[in-house]
């Protein structure tokens, strides 16, 4: 049944990175709130699992296998989706290396997905909304990494800082069209992406985050999905150009 505070019935949402982690949790929650959800990812098997979970819960989903770094693929999928009211640009990758050990190819790969992938999705979704007169919502995925320097996360942090600036600029440019643009900057969340760390490194990071969090626990994909849902719904209709930080209090920037 739709969540009464966030009724998205008769709306269409397009979610990138929907094959797992935060993207899957967001797609499921948007569908639960009544939206028809278009799930996009390059992981075809994971997409199928997400679609099956949405269908099992009584929701409606369409699946698009694509690489967000390829603008043509993103444009084609959004055109096929028809009128889109909500974009959740969540697809991302992580690379760890010191600045001195970072190769150009490392930075290029992360920026291609984490920044240009978000840019492509936002541009194409916004163009569609403007052409149809839709007062929609774009939700981008930043990171707690934008608030602090973390050793080894140079590529990832740079890409997420770029997403924050994109979000702010788009909020200014799209506001006159009635389109809101906001970012979510989660803390450390257990997802398939963060699980790529070596077990020892992952354990060190999680131990540190537990010490820093006043709530004393790590984040779950569902915690972040709640922020995505809030920004997608009318409950946040007077919010744009902002960053929500579901991070358990690990950082508290003003």
Round to whole Å and give the CA distance between 173 and 170: 5
3-state secondary structure of 127: helix
The separation between CA 27 and the C-alpha centre of its own chain, rounded to angstroms, equals: 10
Round to whole Å and give the CA distance between 96 and 197: 8
Q: Which of 156, 191, 213, 247 does the annotation list as catalytic?
A: 156
Of residues 69, 189, 84, the one with CA closest to residue 133: 84
Q: Can you state the angle between helices 116-132 and 154-174, rounded to 10 degrees? A: 20
Round to whole Å and give the CA distance between 120 and 69: 8
- C-alpha pair distances (Å), 10 with each of 25, 60, 80, 101: 20, 11, 17, 49
Q: Are 227 and 220 in contact (CB under 8 A)?
A: no
Reply yes or no on whether 156 is catalytic: yes
Of residues 172, 214, 206, the one with CA closest to residue 190: 206
3-state secondary structure of 62: strand
> Which residues are designated catalytic?
156
């Amino acid at each position: 049944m739709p969540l009464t505070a966030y009724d998205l019935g008769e709306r269409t949402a397009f979610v990138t990175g929907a094959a797992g982690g935060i993207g899957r949790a967001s797609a499921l929650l948007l569908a639960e709130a009544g939206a028809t959800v278009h799930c996009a990812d390059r992981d075809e098997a994971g997409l199928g699992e997400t679609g099956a979970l949405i269908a099992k819960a009584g929701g409606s989903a369409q699946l698009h296998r694509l690489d967000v770094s390829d603008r043509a693929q993103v444009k084609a999928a959004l055109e096929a989706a028809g009128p889109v009211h909500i974009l959740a640009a969540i697809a991302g990758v992580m690379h760890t290396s010191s600045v001195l050990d970072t190769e150009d190819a490392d930075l290029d790969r992360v920026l291609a997905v984490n920044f240009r992938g978000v840019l492509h999705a936002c541009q194409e979704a916004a163009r569609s909304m403007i052409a149809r007169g839709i007062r929609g919502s774009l939700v981008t995925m930043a990171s707690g990494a934008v608030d602090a320097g973390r050793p080894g996360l140079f590529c990832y942090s740079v890409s997420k800082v770029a997403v924050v600036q994109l979000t702010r600029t788009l909020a200014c440019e799209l506001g006159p069209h009635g389109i809101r643009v906001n970012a979510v900057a989660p803390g450390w969340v257990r997802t398939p992406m963060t699980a790529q760390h070596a077990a020892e490194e992952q354990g060190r990071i999680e131990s540190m985050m537990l010490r820093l969090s006043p709530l004393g626990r790590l984040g779950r994909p569902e915690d972040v999905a709640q922020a995505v849902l809030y920004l997608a719904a009318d409950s946040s209709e007077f919010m744009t150009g902002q960053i929500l930080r579901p991070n358990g209090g690990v950082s508290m920037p003003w």
